[in-house]
Amino acid sequence: MNGEQQAAGWEHAPAAEENEIQHSLFGEILDWMLAPLLLLWPMSIAITYLVAKSIANQPFDHALEDTVTVLTQQVREVAGAIPRLPGPARDILRADDVDNIYYQVSSPSGAHVDGDRDLPPPPRQDPELQDIRAGAVLFRNTTLHGTPIRIAWTWVNLEEDKAQPPRLALVQVGETLEKRAKLANEIIKGVILPQFIILPIVLALVWFALSRGLLPLRELQERIRARPSDDLSPIPPRQVPEEITPLVKSLNEMLERLKLSIDSQKRFIADAAHQMKTPLAGMRTQSELALRQTDQAEVHRSLEQLAKSSEAATRLVNQLLALARAENQPQAGTAMEALELGEVARNTVHDWVQASFNYGIDLGYEPPPEDVPISGNAMMLREMLSNLIDNALRYTPRGSAVTVRVRRTGRHALLEVEDNGPGIPAAERGHVFERFYRILGSNTEGSGLGLPIVREVAQQHEAEVDLFANPRTTDPKYPGCLFRVTFPLRVPDTPPEEEEVPHFG
């Protein structure tokens, strides 16, 4: 198959397993074209042979029929007996330099009158059929002395009075099959020999046609191979045959997805590098300042600032890792498992209780009245909820409350985080889930990665994230926020009528 693969100019992807066989498109098409041809060719020869024999029989059968007809004209009853054929008639019957000619004349009683006694009689028939077939020439194949012969025979009615019952004499003329076989062989040679000349030409034309037909694949391969490594532009579909246009379209879609992924990674790296400059520059500045200070109090303040910058850098790195982990979850192939959303939320809230004391905020949890089963990854869900709680604690003023709530409605599971902070204007809500996006005028420190992590984790769990103003807050200065993540329930044991999930402005 190596030569066929080179002629096709098409390379397949390497086999995933050692025992996987690599197929050649050129060879497979050639097999499907030549295998039927090679199978049909012997059948064609057999059919040609049968047709040739039929064609060869026709003229010789006509000659036999004419001989029998002439011979019947010589059969007459004279004085109650049938005389033998005259000598010239017998000489004419024997005049054949290729085949042996046999003839026989029998009386109505079956007695031999003239000709070859060994010529087998025709099959016994109904007398009524004999009467009907009198004068009709029939043919049959038989053997004489182990040699196949062809016999033409007929019945001759010797009764001149048609009103009387017929008296039928038998006339048979047979010949060997030499001339017939010779003519059939000549016909077969005339038909088969040109096929031996045409067949190699057909094979060469098929090979050439396949090579030309698969040439666009080789040209497409060369164009793709000649591309720079960073060229992800789509392949023009007009430059390829119609049959592989769907393949090119699929390849273009993959290139588009790859381009979006690479562009996203480039932006992520650029944004991450930019965001890391601030804490790292602050740490360097504070460390240099501490080295120049001689007053222990000033050194202590510089070290405190250095610790805060280090904490901010650590948090930024952790969030970058969490975001990368969430984005690559489909490639990681982490299996989803059966979880109880209320238990995941309760454990996560418990981890943030001490942090809420430091912020001076009342962190509460409202458990669901029943189990809320979902399919998910516990680590990723805890990361998502932690970012929602952290975001709420940072933006909610001291003395306020943050509430985490889990409930189910219809076929959905709801996870809500509610705060009494300054809220997010409606015009900004579509942007807060973008990476490193910060609302202008916000004095709270943050990396702008918490909500993008929430969105990525939700997408991995086929969930939706919605953002509303807190419907339970009446203070216009602090309208608060309500983040709601809607998951599909794991089991369809819900009532037929679903409760509509309320939406807030």
CATH number (domain holding residue 440)? 3.30.565.10
Task: Count up the domains in the chain and report the number.
Answer: 3
For helices 178-213 and 25-74, give the axis angle rounded to 10 degrees.
160
Number of Cβ within a 10 Å radius of residue 256:
13
What's the CA gap between 367 and 346, in Å, rounded? 8
* In a shared domain, residues 298 and 434: no
Q: What are the average pLDDT values for consecutive 10-residue runs of the chain, which has 505 residues?
A: 42 45 69 78 80 82 87 79 76 76 87 87 62 72 90 85 78 89 82 79 82 80 82 79 82 86 73 65 76 79 76 68 62 68 92 89 91 88 88 87 90 91 76 62 56 83 87 80 90 50 52
pTM strictly above 0.75: no
* In a shared domain, residues 83 and 217: yes
Q: Is residue 472 part of a domain?
A: yes
DSSP lists the bridge partners of residue 418 as 403, 482
What's the CA gap between 438 and 284, in Å, rounded? 25
* In a shared domain, residues 342 and 310: no
Q: Using the structure block, give the residue that is written with the tokens 């962190």.
A: 363
pLDDT tens, residue by residue, 247-302:
888 888 888 888 887 877 777 676 666 666 666 777 777 787 778 777 788 778 77
* In a shared domain, residues 284 and 184: no
- Domain containing 268: what range? 238-324
| Amino acid (1-letter code) at residue 19 | N
Q: Is residue 189 part of a domain?
A: yes
* In a shared domain, residues 57 and 206: yes
What's the CA gap between 496 and 410, in Å, rounded? 8
CATH number (domain holding residue 293)? 1.10.287.130
**H or E element: which one contains 170?**
strand 168-176
Q: Is residue 330 part of a domain?
A: no
Q: Is residue 148 part of a domain?
A: yes
Q: Is residue 400 part of a domain?
A: yes
* In a shared domain, residues 74 and 38: yes
Contacts of 456 (CB under 8 A, 6+ apart): 323, 326, 327, 329
* In a shared domain, residues 393 and 478: yes
* In a shared domain, residues 277 and 205: no
* In a shared domain, residues 217 and 350: no
What's the CA gap between 308 and 302, in Å, rounded? 10
Q: Is residue 415 part of a domain?
A: yes
Q: Which CB contacts under 8 angstroms, 24+ apart, belong to 148-151?
A: 148/176, 148/177, 149/100, 149/102, 149/174, 149/175, 149/176, 149/177, 150/57, 150/60, 150/61, 150/64, 150/174, 150/175, 150/176, 150/177, 150/180, 151/102, 151/119, 151/122
* In a shared domain, residues 315 and 345: no
